[in-house]
Amino acid sequence: MIQAAPILAASSTATATTGQSDAQKAKLKSAAQAFEAVFLRQMIGSMRSASLGDGMLDNEASSTFQDMADSKAADAMSKKGVLHIADLLVKQLGPIAAKGVAGKIEAATASPAPAIESALP
């Protein structure tokens, strides 16, 4: 059975993501859902290509329609969170994104470093 890594524990992510703004959380969730949709499209496409042979009515138009239907199904599945890949990505990347934002804020507000003088006489 697959178990969550210690970094994915709810207590550690709750404290790490509190400093993160709601807009950044929304962006991260949107990107994670988009990644899950792409993954699902690839998975569905691989399953469909593993068919035993061509059907009687298979042609280029039906293939295009199946691809579009598969894409819509993958988008719907990712929004529902069927595989929970997006949730895991948000939990794992949330603290990293929060640290990156905090580092940028600190760098912008920090006073300039003193100039290092040459040690030569």
**pLDDT tens track for 19-65:** 457 888 889 999 999 999 999 999 998 998 887 777 777 888 888 99
Cβ atoms of residues 77 and 83 within 8 Å: yes
Instruction: Report pTM.
Output: 0.61
- Side chain identity, residue 105: I
**Structure confidence by residue, pLDDT tens digits, 63-120:** 899 899 999 999 999 999 889 999 999 999 888 887 776 666 566 566 555 555 555 5
Calculate the CA 83 to chain-centre distance: 13
Taking 90 as the threshold, does the pLDDT of residue 5 lie above it? no
Q: Any residues with CB less than 8 A from the CB of 99 and at least 6 apart, and which?
A: 16
**Matching residue, tokens 């580092």:** 103
Tell me what pLDDT residue 1 has. Answer: 44
Q: What does the pLDDT read at residue 112? A: 58
Domain ranges of the chain: 29-48+59-102
Can you give the pLDDT at residue 72?
A: 95
Res. 8: pLDDT tops 70: no
